[in-house]
């Protein structure tokens, strides 16, 4: 029998949005937990990825009393600045050089917001630690044992190099698509569902602010976007073949291609990094095994066109936190037993929406992927999402 150094209710593997949100929700409910993150705090707080939360994600944070994390420095001040409370209002769409505006939701409370991942993560870390949370960075060589028992064991090596062992009631795997949590599940138990869109995005991190916070373009040369990642940074996205490499995209080509697709000169500046990202959707089923529960990117990837990665992570964290609280307070395992089905139902709904939107935005432009017929279908779909053209006088 393994002798544990300590015991807790839940060990959370991974300190990204999903893990930090789950830990924060549990802590606010009086549930003991430990978050293990393999990277340093500086690395996690500077990691630049998604940049938006939909209305559901914002609502979840407010329901748990931590709505202030959706803002710079945890103040609750909108990161998108004055007049940009909703990302729908701040995201013009340029179709073949013509600026169009999205139709707005009549419900003002249903607005999402721009919030760079590093801002949300930084604020969640501060909130979790402020509330007395146990967050351990640079936890290496993490392994999970006894997941099919009532008391799983998590082993790891701490920042000082010492071997540690934690006994717990539950384990949350929120360590991303390449994490160790999912690999602890026996072969053959999970089913992996995948959809490849057939094209990629060149993603370019720049030291150039985005103004407005987001703009997207549909063009015969392909989809393009520029999305804020903070007051002095933005990420550029350019649709490209999956066979392209970073070497095919020197800096000059990035800026000239962005300008062509936006039909206006692009504001240029230093480029920090480039990466080719094939667009795909992935779902693992079920999202639990024994006492291990998967959430966030460990359980699913969604097309970045949907801007729903962080919102999906928050949905999972919310569902799992409520299920654990119910188990601890009422000794009723029913919500935990249905956690996977609950989250998968929501995940597939969002995947369906993401596939539709991704196809609409990309098929509307470059016909080399799926042809002229689907281009016209996609354009018709887009017209249902944008404001009518203003008649010319």
What is the mean pLDDT for each group of 10 consecutive residues in the chain (393 residues)?
82 97 98 97 83 88 94 40 42 91 64 81 96 97 97 96 97 97 97 97 94 91 89 92 97 97 93 96 98 98 92 97 97 97 98 96 94 96 88 61
Note the pTM of the prediction, 2 decimals: 0.90
CA distance 344 to 166: 29
**Do strands 292-294 and 288-289 pair parallel, antiparallel, or not at all (unpaired)?**
antiparallel
Position 116 scores a pLDDT of 80
Position 99 scores a pLDDT of 92
DSSP lists the bridge partners of residue 274 as 204
Domain limits, the chain: 6-90+108-192+281-354, 198-279+364-383
Give domain 6-90+108-192+281-354's CATH superfamily.
FAD/NAD(P)-binding domain (3.50.50.60)
Supply φ then ψ for residue 170, to 5 degrees: -145, 155
**Residue 10 near residue 31 (C-beta atoms within 8 A):** yes
CA distance 330 to 303: 38
CA distance 34 to 53: 26
Q: Which two tokens stand for residue 166?
A: 């934690």
- The DSSP annotation for 109-162 comes to GG--EE--HHHHHHHHHHHHHHTT-EEE-S-EEEEEE-TTSSS-EEEEE-TTS-
CA distance 367 to 268: 28
CA distance 21 to 14: 11
Alpha helices (H) along the chain: 17-28, 41-46, 55-63, 117-130, 251-262, 309-330, 334-337, 339-363, 371-383
How many residues appear in the chain?
Answer: 393
Position 111 scores a pLDDT of 66
Position 50 scores a pLDDT of 63
Please count the other Cβ atoms lying within 10 Å of the Cβ belonging to residue 99.
Answer: 13
Position 113 scores a pLDDT of 81
Give domain 198-279+364-383's CATH superfamily.
D-Amino Acid Oxidase, subunit A, domain 2 (3.30.9.10)
**Residue 123 near residue 246 (C-beta atoms within 8 A):** no
From the centroid of its chain, how far is CA 19?
12
Nearest to 29 by CA among 58, 56, 9: 9
**Residue 84 near residue 212 (C-beta atoms within 8 A):** yes
Q: How many helices (H) and strands (E) does the chain have?
A: 9, 18
Supply φ then ψ for residue 335, to 5 degrees: -60, -35
Position 46 scores a pLDDT of 85
Position 80 scores a pLDDT of 38
Q: Which two tokens stand for residue 37?
A: 């993150």
């Amino acid at each position: 029998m393994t002798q544990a150094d300590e015991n807790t209710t839940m060990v959370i593997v991974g300190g990204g949005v999903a893990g930090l949100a789950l830990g924060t929700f549990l802590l606010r409910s009086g549930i003991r937990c430990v978050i293990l993150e393999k990277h340093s705090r500086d690395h996690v707080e500077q990691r630049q990825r998604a940049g938006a939360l939909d209305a559901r994600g914002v609502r979840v944070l407010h329901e748990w009393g931590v709505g202030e994390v959706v803002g710079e420095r945890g103040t609750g001040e909108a990161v998108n600045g004055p007049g940009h409370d909703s990302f729908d209002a701040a995201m013009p769409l340029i179709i073949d050089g013509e600026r169009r505006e999205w139709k707005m939701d009549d419900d003002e409370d249903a607005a999402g917001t721009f919030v760079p991942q590093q801002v949300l993560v930084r604020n969640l870390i501060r909130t979790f630690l402020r509330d007395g949370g146990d967050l351990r960075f640079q936890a290496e060589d993490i392994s999970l044992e006894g997941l099919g028992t009532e008391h799983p064991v998590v082993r790891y090596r701490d920042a000082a190099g010492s071997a540690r062992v934690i006994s717990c009631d539950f384990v949350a795997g929120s360590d991303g698509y390449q994490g160790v949590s999912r690999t602890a599940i026996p072969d053959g138990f999970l089913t992996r569902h995948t959809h490849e869109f057939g094209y990629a995005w060149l993603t370019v991190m720049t030291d150039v602010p985005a103004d407005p916070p987001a703009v997207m373009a549909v063009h015969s040369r392909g989809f393009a976007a520029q999305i804020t990642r903070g007051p002095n940074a933005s990420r550029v996205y350019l649709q490209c073949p999956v066979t392209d490499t970073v070497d095919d995209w020197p800096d000059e080509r990035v800026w000239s291609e962005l300008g062509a697709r936006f039909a206006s000169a692009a504001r240029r500046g230093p480029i920090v990094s480039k990466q080719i990202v094939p667009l795909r959707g992935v779902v693992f089923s079920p999202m639990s095994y024994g006492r291990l529960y998967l959430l966030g990117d460990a359980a699913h990837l969604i097309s970045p066109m949907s801007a729903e990665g962080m919102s999906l992570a928050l949905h999972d964290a919310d569902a799992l936190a409520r299920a654990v609280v119910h188990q601890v307070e009422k000794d009723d395992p029913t919500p935990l037993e249905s956690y996977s089905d609950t989250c998968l139902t929501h995940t597939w709904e969002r995947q369906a929406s993401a596939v539709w939107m991704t196809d609409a935005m990309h098929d509307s432009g470059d016909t080399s992927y799926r042809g002229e017929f689907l281009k016209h279908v996609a354009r018709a779909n887009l017209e249902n999402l944008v404001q009518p053209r203003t008649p010319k006088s």
